[in-house]
Amino acid sequence: MEHMQFKSNQTAAAYVAHELTEQQQEAFELHMMGCSECVNDVEAWRAIKSHMPDAAVVQAAKPFRKPWWAGWGLAASFVGAVGISGLAGWFAHALVRPNLDTTETAIFNLPALTRGVSECHTLPVAANARAVVLRVPGIASERSLVATNESGQELPGAQYSTRKQRDGSWVLRFDADFLQNGPAYLVTRNPDGADESLGCVVAAVAPPAG
């Protein structure tokens, strides 16, 4: 009977997640001493917990914690991830704006782990960069992402554009010259106008690799 309760309550899963009280844990561990089926479950859940992939953490911070020439691998993976969904938009952009050579576009990822209200990230760009593309995941679905100046006014359309992707992340495109001259403040905004700051970004020319 006890075994059936453990099974139906998914106790093995809760055990590995350290969710049981001291008494519950003791009862379950004593039960495990004689129940290979529950040991199997615990081992399976522990394996899942230990080996669970975390793409967000793997991608986190690399562009901002390492020199920019060390982050090209991440940038390449980012391009792969967002390229398909963004391609149509970029082609549409190309109709109204001069076509950008890919070497003139700097692409960055700004995951949640690397951003904060008080931080201003410097994005290293090449001297000939004309555009800076920034992907910002982890924005609550009801909020939108805008870029503002220091006084909180949204930047004009000539200096930046923003849009939401199918995966829920936001992509901002800045004029590289503008971003080199001063910071842009990232702000999430909900429908009633309440803002939440995500810090700011600024671009700076950095030397090429090698």
Partner 1 sequence: MTYTEPLTDPASARDAPDSLLTARSADAVELRDEIYVRYRRPLMQVFLQRRIDRDAAQDLLQRTFLQALKKIRTEGLDDPGNLGGYLYRTACKLATAYWRGELSRRYDHDGELLSSLHDESLSLEEALDHDLLAKSVRELMTKLSVPRDREVLERFYLREEPRSAIRESMNLTELQFNQVLWRARQRFAEILRKQGFAGNGYAAHSVDG
Contact between 130 and 119 under an 8 Å Cβ cutoff? The reply is no
Residue 125 sits at the vertex; the CA angle it makes with 106 and 119, to the nearest 5 degrees, is 95
Binding mask 42-81 for partner 1 (x = CB under 8 A): xxxxxxxxxxxxx---------------------------
Task: Return the closest-CA partner of residue 56 out of 84, 85, 87, 81.
Answer: 81
CB of 20 to partner 1, least distance (A): 10
Single residue of 2, 119, 142, 177 touching partner 1 by CB under 8 A: 2
Least distance in Å: CB of 71 to partner 1? Answer: 24
Q: Which stretch binds partner 1 (CB under 8 A): 26-34, 105-113, 115-123, 149-157?
A: 26-34
Which residue number, 36 or 151, has a Cβ lying nearer to partner 1?
Answer: 36
The residues, ordered by sequence, that sit 6+ positions from 67 with a Cβ below 8 Å of its Cβ are 124, 206
Regarding 33 and contact with partner 1 (CB under 8 A), the answer is yes
- From edge to edge, which strands make up the β-sheet containing 144-148? 120-125, 195-205, 184-189, 144-148
Binding residues with partner 1: total (CB under 8 A): 41
Site for partner 1, residues 111 to 150, rule: CB under 8 A: none
Q: How far apart, in Å, do the first and last CA atoms of the chain sit?
A: 67
From the list 21-29, 91-99, 174-182, 202-210, the region that binds partner 1 by CB under 8 A is 21-29
Q: What are phi and psi of 98, to 5 degrees?
A: -60, 140
Tokens 């290979």 label which residue? 36
What residues make contact with partner 1 under the rule CB under 8 A?
A: 2-3, 7-10, 13-19, 25-27, 29-37, 39-54
